[in-house]
Amino acid sequence: MNDMRIAERDVSTSETKIAARGVQVHYGTTHALKDVDIDILNGNVTAFIGPSGCGKSTFLRCLNRMNDTIAAAKVTGSIKLDGEDIYDAKVDPVQLRAKVGMVFQKPNPFPKSIYDNVAYGPKIHGLTRSKAELDNVVETSLKKAALWNEVKDRLHSPGTGLSGGQQQRLCIARAVATSPEVLLMDEPCSALDPIATAQVEELIDELRGQFAVVIVTHSMQQAARVSQKTAFFHLGNLVEFGETGQIFTNPRDPRTESYISGRIG
Amino acid sequence: MPVLWIALIVLAAAAIAYVLARRSALASAQGDVRRMHSLPSYYGWHAFILTALPALLLMLAWLIFQPLFIENRIASQLPAEATATATSQQLAMRDVRSVADGLQAAISSGAITPEEMEAFTNDPSTLRARLGEAGVALGGNVTSETLEAAQNFRALASTMNLTMTVLVIGVALAGAAIALKQVRPDFWARNAVERTVMGLLIFASAIAIFTTISIVFSMVFETMNFFRQYPWQSFFFGTTWSPVFHGNSQLGIVPLLWGTLYISFIALLVAVPIGLFAAIYLSEYASNRVRSFAKPLIEVLAGIPTIVYGLFALVTVGPLLRDYFAQPLGLGSSGTSVMTAGLVMGVMIIPFVSSLSDDIINSVPQSLRDGSLGLGATKSETIRQVVLPAALPGIVGAVLLAASRAIGETMIVVLGAGAAARLGLNPFEAMTTITVKIVSQLTGDTDFNSPETLVAFALGLTLFVITLGLNIFALYIVRKYREQYE
Ligand SMILES: Nc1ncnc2c1ncn2[C@@H]1O[C@H](COP(=O)(O)OP(=O)(O)OP(=O)(O)O)[C@@H](O)[C@H]1O
Ligand SMILES: [Mg+2]
């Protein structure tokens, strides 16, 4: 169990970034998420774990209102970002998503060049003032996503021509380039080899200096390695939420216990 | 025996063979389907195919070659002066055939008795009048050589018919017998049927390809014929179109080509933006309910007969444009104009653009939209920068399809833009297109060998080459994009 270096990093007791209370999601008649209360802290990495289909992605999509694009999805309860309800009529979901970036479960590069994929967010939001500045943003984002060395000679070839794992890192770079305040990552390492995974984990750790990071993962080791807080979902319920060290060494709920031990015991 | 009957008999035999083969397959496996290689119905189908297919193919071949064979035999019996040249032989054979057909019709309806026939053999001079009374008109008087040849013709045809009937039914029965003998649990009936299905599919695609090739060839031959009588330089570069039916015509394609392209251009100018915007609305913004009735409603436009569009152009749009635009602006007083035809044609091809583009935009994966929205892009930014580029190859294809439709359109042009070939820029003047001129050169009393008529083939071939070029261009664009972004 030497890769279970359980968070030697302390939970910074900084302020709450996102506060979710009583969140319920229905897809038509399916009750996908039941009464979830969670606080996402600034400067922390929060990991969501749980068996497939338990609602991790669904909850993640609530946090930047991506569920708006699914006609059948109905979200109730309150989710506050910096104390402001994001489902309030006054909040523009477009602005919200610029602040709460997302890396999706399946890599989805745009049918554009690698460069344009990464430059997409900065261009839309007018984050850079000159071409040189934009070049710089693209380069640092690709470096952060551990992709720069592989693509620096072909920035203008299509992003869809990359391998699956490279595409996943391209999507990470794309999200990072927009400099969000919160970064939601849905299984960002599912198609990556151990080296790239380590690099992305390094990135996640680095990012939490600036953003709050939420990561969904099926790898217990990864959750233990990168996160300070862990939430365990089961059948649409948030079963247990606490400090990562406590969840992995001393879970309170028997379901958490059996899930964790089933995987890493 | 009539061909239809033979075909029915063969099919009936095949149906019986199906039932028998199925039953004997089941029996040979003692009712346990799992012990056979294929399901019982496959043995049935195998028997059906083996009974019907060779027999029907034989019949088809026979029907194609029998007339050629008979013609040859009879022609060799005709007197030498009749077969001296190809033309005179053709004429003589035509006489023989019409007399033979006339006799056949008259005898089978009972208008001429066999005894009368005897009399005619000795003296054929009254035959024409007699056949005329019986309702069969002949072109000229019948000579005794012709009558003899015609009698031989009939005899030969009837023996050959009989032979065919016997052979075809024989082949069918033999096929059935072979198939029934083959029924054993270890016979791969399923694979045999599979091969036949493949053959059928190949045959169907071969027919489509051969038709295209033969259409092109017939056009090419007539076009070469035309260029022997009319210099190609004057055709391709001539700027005047004025056919005169006593010769000395000027048959320059340039004004027609210009009219075609001008009208199609205006039509696309109308159809592409409207169609594309409608498609974007339908696929990205409209709710499912709106979409489910708006889309068929737009598609109705494609179902309206073009002649109705033509009338609309002639009666409504044309006068409207003349009275409110052309005349006040001093641009002419023609009721028919390029603008009229272009606008109406544009409306007609909207559904080609919108419906196809809508399907294509819908097939862009939702994950791409999510990716863009997730970065804080608005809906229209997402559409412009992600969805449309991804859908572009398909949209180009839709536009080019609409363009070929516009280029080939005739009715709207005749009624909307008129039939006067003219080379000009004013969109409120009457002009015309290649297709309209093809129709007008081929209709009416014309000598089929004059350049004025043959030019229609040259025009048609040019049009074909243009649309072919458009299609190849479309394929090229689509492929280029695919390579880049897939
Ligand atoms: N668009 C949708 N329409 C209807 N039901 C959905 C939709 N998306 C998810 N669901 C349902 O909601 C439940 C939770 O799905 P979700 O995608 O959140 O699972 P998950 O925890 O992310 O699983 P995985 O680990 O496999 O990604 C599932 O039962 C799923 O069938
Ligand atoms: Mg998921």
Q: What percent of chain B has pLDDT over 70?
A: 98
pLDDT at A175 over 90: yes
**pLDDT band at residue A14 under the 50/70/90 scheme:** low
pLDDT one-digit tens code per residue, B124-180: 777 777 777 777 777 677 777 888 888 888 889 889 999 999 999 999 999 999 999
Sequence length of chain A is 265
> Which pLDDT score, from 0 to 100, does residue B482 have?
63
pLDDT one-digit tens code per residue, A20-59: 999 999 999 999 999 999 999 988 999 999 999 999 999 9
pLDDT at A98 over 60: yes
Task: Tell which A residues from 81 to 110 touch B, by Cβ distance under 8 Å.
Answer: 94-99, 101-102, 104, 106, 108-110
> Which pLDDT score, from 0 to 100, does residue B442 have?
85
**Residue at which a domain ends, from B187, B209, B227:** B187
Shared domain check, B249 and B183: no
ipTM for the assembly: 0.88
**Is residue A1 included in any domain, yes or no?**
no
Mean per-residue pLDDT for B96-100?
84
How far apart CA B201 and CA B107 sit, in angstroms, is: 44
Nearest C-alpha neighbor of B461 from the set B213, B235, B223: B223
Q: Is B216 helix (H, G, I), strand (E, B) or coil?
A: helix
Within 13 Å, how many C-alpha atoms sit on residue B225's CB side?
17
**pLDDT band at residue B370 under the 50/70/90 scheme:** very high
Nearest C-alpha neighbor of A203 from the set A134, A147, A133: A147
**Is residue B182 included in any domain, yes or no?**
yes
> Which pLDDT score, from 0 to 100, does residue A56 have?
94
pLDDT at A3 over 50: no
Q: Which residues pair with A49 in a beta bridge?
A: A232
pLDDT one-digit tens code per residue, B6-20: 999 999 999 999 999
Shared domain check, B53 and B169: yes
Shared domain check, B168 and B280: no
Among A27, A216, A237, the mutation site with the greatest number of ligand 1 atoms within 8 A of its Cβ is: A27
Q: Given an 8 Å threshold on Cβ–Cβ distance, is A124 in contact with B377?
A: yes
Measured by CA distance, the residue closest to atom 17 of ligand 1 is: A57
Most confident of A227-231, B118-122, B327-331, B360-364: A227-231
Task: Tell which A residues from 202 to 261 touch B, by Cβ distance under 8 Å.
Answer: none
pLDDT at A257 over 50: yes
pLDDT one-digit tens code per residue, B279-307: 999 999 998 899 999 989 998 988 899 99
Lowest mean pLDDT among B36-50, B109-123, B189-203, B274-288: B109-123
**Is residue B208 included in any domain, yes or no?**
no
CB neighbour list of residue A222: distance below 8 Å, 6 or more residues apart: A47, A189, A197, A201, A215
How far apart CA B122 and CA B141 sit, in angstroms, is: 15
**pLDDT band at residue A99 under the 50/70/90 scheme:** very high
Shared domain check, B270 and B171: no
pLDDT at B263 over 90: yes
How buried is residue B14: exposed, middle or buried, by Cβ count under 10 Å (0-12/13-18/19+)?
A: buried
Nearest C-alpha neighbor of B395 from the set B357, B426, B431, B341: B357
> Which pLDDT score, from 0 to 100, does residue A228 have?
93
B338-362 vs B388-408: helix axis angle to the nearest 10?
Answer: 140
Closest Cα in chain A, distance from residue B478 (Å) = 14
pLDDT at A77 over 90: yes
Nearest C-alpha neighbor of A6 from the set A252, A256, A242: A242
Q: Given an 8 Å threshold on Cβ–Cβ distance, is B375 in contact with A101?
A: yes
Nearest ligand (C-alpha, residue A103): 2
pLDDT at A202 over 80: yes
- Start-end of H helices in B78-188: 86-108, 114-122, 127-133, 144-182
Task: Kindly list the residues from chain B whose CB atom is less than 8 angstroms away from the CB atom of residue A97.
Answer: 373-376
pLDDT one-digit tens code per residue, B448-485: 778 888 899 999 999 999 988 988 888 887 777 665 55
Shared domain check, B278 and B178: no
Residue with the two structure tokens 């056979």: B36
Mean per-residue pLDDT for B87-105?
81
Task: Kindly list the residues from chain B whose CB atom is less than 8 angstroms away from the CB atom of residue A98.
Answer: 375-376
Query: A27: part of which helix (H) or strand (E)?
Result: strand A16-27
> Which pLDDT score, from 0 to 100, does residue A29 have?
92
Mean per-residue pLDDT for B352-375?
91
Give me the CATH number covering residue A160: 3.40.50.300
pLDDT one-digit tens code per residue, B201-234: 999 999 999 998 999 998 999 999 999 989 999 9
**Is residue A4 included in any domain, yes or no?**
no
Whether the CB-CB separation of B78 and B92 falls below 8 Å is answered with yes
Shared domain check, B160 and B265: no
Which ligand 1 atom minimizes the distance to the CA of A70? 1
Q: Given an 8 Å threshold on Cβ–Cβ distance, is B374 in contact with A102?
A: yes
Report angle CA A46, A49, A53 to the nearest 5 degrees: 130
Return the structure tokens found at A195.
Answer: 């080296």
How far apart CA A58 and CA A36 sit, in angstroms, is: 11
User: Strand locations in B191-282, DSSP E?
Assistant: 241-242, 250-251
Give me the CATH number covering residue B456: 1.10.3720.10
pLDDT one-digit tens code per residue, B180-199: 998 888 888 899 999 999 99
pLDDT at A10 over 70: no
pLDDT at A265 over 80: no
Mean per-residue pLDDT for A186-209?
88
Return the sign of the alpha-carbon dihedral for residues B300, B302, B304, B308: positive
Q: Given an 8 Å threshold on Cβ–Cβ distance, is B376 in contact with A108?
A: no
Return the structure tokens found at B48.
Answer: 């059906």
Query: B365: part of which helix (H) or strand (E)?
Result: none
Three-state DSSP string of B381-414: HHHHHHHHHHHHHHHHHHHHHHHHHHHHCCHHHH
Chain A residue with minimal CA distance to B389?
A: A111
**Is residue B402 included in any domain, yes or no?**
yes
- Mutate which: B287, B288, B292, B375, vs A, most A CBs within 10 A: B375
**pLDDT band at residue B441 under the 50/70/90 scheme:** confident
Q: Which amino acid is at B426?
A: N
Containing domain of residue B73, as a range?
Answer: 3-187
Q: Given an 8 Å threshold on Cβ–Cβ distance, is B389 in contact with A112?
A: yes
Containing domain of residue A245, as a range?
Answer: 16-260
**Is residue B83 included in any domain, yes or no?**
yes
Query: Least CB-CB distance to A94: which of B368, B376, B486?
Result: B376
**Is residue A6 included in any domain, yes or no?**
no
How is A130-189 classified by DSSP, letter by letter?
SHHHHHHHHHHHHHHTT-HHHHTT-TTSBGGGS-HHHHHHHHHHHHHHT--SEEEEESTT
Number of domains in chain A: 1
> Which pLDDT score, from 0 to 100, does residue A55 have?
92
pLDDT at A1 over 50: no
Number of domains in chain B: 2
How far apart CA A226 and CA A70 sit, in angstroms, is: 31
**Is residue A3 included in any domain, yes or no?**
no
Sequence-distant contacts of B186-189: CB under 8 A, at least 24 apart: B186/B37, B187/B37, B187/B38, B187/B43, B188/B37, B188/B38, B189/B25, B189/B37, B189/B38, B189/B42, B189/B43, B189/B45, B189/B46
